[in-house]
């Protein structure tokens, strides 16, 4: 992709290239040993959480995620898919929209920025991505109320695009900038190719980017230019991801893309708490739904009537993704899919 005039320049990295954060440097030795003993790494994932105008949906989802931490298969961390704070990522809103809702979430919280996180208010001289950097990428105490102790270790991310590393998984996060159509700098795409090539063949590779490639919602829709840009990198690296996670659209959608005999889930989960949900388009064919011009893609599940979150369980053999829907009536798993590790493109 070639960034246009509205492209917001990338901030300086907070760590050294190639911008990797090892999970063992964040979690305690006992927890890492438990992951290896159980042969399972679990994490929550969702985007678009900021409880602007109405914080009740975000609070319900956050409480359900916290309850999971005390369940039989607790998550080891939360990977946020962007749009942490609305409307423009203001520092003054981080307390109400991030630190307070997750004040009892004791596992680490990692993130990639969304478009709202990188927008600059009209009266600001610099991008409001700065609060995001202070909350997720700072080596000093993160942005929060100094009188309130954080219940979790800081993320300490090295950049806005970065890779979370564990023995059998790589989560490669990209920043898709502030433009509505999404823009990814060439330096990010080159970096992505390098990270794909560097991922071990036995690792499950997950790409996390705020804007989705596919969507049937009535507000945003698909971003096939983004998909073309990512495909060019996949071909260059000769490595396909095993799973693609996105937010931006305020609902849940699960697509399957079939490439060379492989079935790769492309999952949209932007239903983490922003009060306004996005409806799926009218006249959708029955599930699984196929689309003219995209013979390799089907829509296999969606939920536009409730907020919720993902739980991703990764083992040395592959992964499973479950979507939990959350409403005022309670929470329950609504959809699940197995992820098959593939490797070369």
- Concatenating the DSSP letter of every residue in 79-97 gives EE-S--STTT--GGGHIII
Q: Of 109, 52, 47, 118, which is closest to residue 89 (Cα–Cα)? A: 118
Residues whose CB falls within 8 Å of the CB of residue 125, separated by 6 or more in sequence, listed in order: none
In tens, the pLDDT along 218-268 reads 999 999 999 999 999 999 999 999 999 999 999 999 999 999 889 999 999
> With contact defined as beta carbons under 8 Å apart, do 240 and 344 qualify?
yes
> With contact defined as beta carbons under 8 Å apart, do 275 and 86 qualify?
no
**What pLDDT, on the 0 to 100 scale, is given for residue 282?**
74
> With contact defined as beta carbons under 8 Å apart, do 254 and 244 qualify?
no
* Residue 320 scores a pLDDT above 70: yes
Sort 9 into a burial class: Cβ within 10 Å, 0-12 / 13-18 / 19+.
Answer: exposed
Distances in whole angstroms, Cα of residue 93 to Cα of each of 83, 89, 90, 110, 175: 12, 7, 5, 18, 21
Model confidence, pTM: 0.97
Q: Of 21, 55, 9, 14, which is closest to residue 275 (Cα–Cα)? A: 55
Side-chain-side CA neighbours of 334 within 13 Å: the count stands at 23
**Full set of structural domains in the chain with CATH:** 20-340 (3.60.21.10)
**What pLDDT, on the 0 to 100 scale, is given for residue 342?**
84
Residues whose CB falls within 8 Å of the CB of residue 57, separated by 6 or more in sequence, listed in order: 51, 273, 274, 275, 307, 326
**What pLDDT, on the 0 to 100 scale, is given for residue 6?**
74
Q: What is the largest CA-CA distance in the chain?
A: 56
Q: Where are the beta strands (DSSP E) in 23-95?
A: 41-46, 77-80
b/e code 98-117 from CB counts within 10 Å (16+ = b): bbbbbbebebbbbbbbbbbb
Residue 102 DSSP one-character state: T
* Percentage above 90 pLDDT, the chain: 85
In tens, the pLDDT along 178-203 reads 988 889 999 999 999 999 999 999 99
Give residue 333's pLDDT band: very low, low, confident or very high (50, 70, 90). very high
Residues whose CB falls within 8 Å of the CB of residue 285, separated by 6 or more in sequence, listed in order: none
**What pLDDT, on the 0 to 100 scale, is given for residue 1?**
62
Residues in the chain: 345
Backbone angles phi, psi at 96, to 5 degrees: -75, -35
């Amino acid at each position: 992709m070639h960034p246009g005039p509205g492209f917001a320049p990338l901030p300086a990295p907070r760590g050294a290239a190639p911008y990797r954060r090892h999970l063992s440097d964040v979690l305690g030795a006992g927890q890492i040993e438990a992951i290896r003993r159980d042969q399972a790494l679990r994490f929550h994932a969702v985007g678009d959480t900021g409880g602007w105008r109405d914080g009740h949906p975000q609070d319900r989802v956050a409480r359900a995620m916290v309850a999971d931490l005390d369940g039989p298969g607790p998550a080891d961390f939360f990977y946020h898919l962007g749009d942490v704070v609305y409307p423009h990522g203001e520092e003054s809103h981080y307390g109400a929209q991030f630190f307070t809702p997750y004040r009892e979430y004791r596992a680490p919280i990692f993130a990639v920025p969304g478009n709202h996180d990188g927008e600059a208010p009209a009266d600001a001289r610099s991008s409001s991505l700065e609060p995001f950097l202070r909350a997720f990428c700072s080596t000093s105490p993160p942005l929060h109320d100094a009188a309130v102790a954080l219940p979790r270790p800081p993320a300490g991310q090295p950049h806005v695009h970065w890779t979370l590393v564990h023995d059998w998984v790589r989560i490669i996060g990209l920043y898709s900038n502030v433009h509505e159509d999404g823009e990814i700098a060439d330096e990010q795409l080159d970096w992505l190719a390098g990270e794909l090539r560097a991922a071990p063949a036995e690792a499950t590779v997950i790409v996390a980017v705020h804007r989705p490639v596919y969507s049937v919602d009535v507000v945003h829709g698909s971003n096939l230019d983004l998909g073309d840009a990512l495909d060019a990198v996949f071909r260059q690296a000769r490595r396909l991801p095993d799973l693609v996670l996105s937010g931006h659209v305020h609902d849940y959608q699960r697509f399957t893309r079939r490439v060379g005999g492989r079935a790769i889930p492309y999952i949209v989960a932007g239903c983490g708490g922003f009060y306004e949900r996005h409806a799926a388009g009218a006249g959708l064919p029955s599930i699984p739904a196929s689309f003219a011009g995209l013979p390799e893609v089907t829509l296999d599940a969606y939920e536009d009537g409730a907020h919720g979150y993902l739980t991703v369980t990764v083992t040395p053999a592959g992964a499973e993704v479950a979507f939990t829907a959350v409403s005022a009536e309670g929470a329950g798993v609504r959809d699940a899919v197995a992820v098959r590790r593939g490797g070369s493109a």
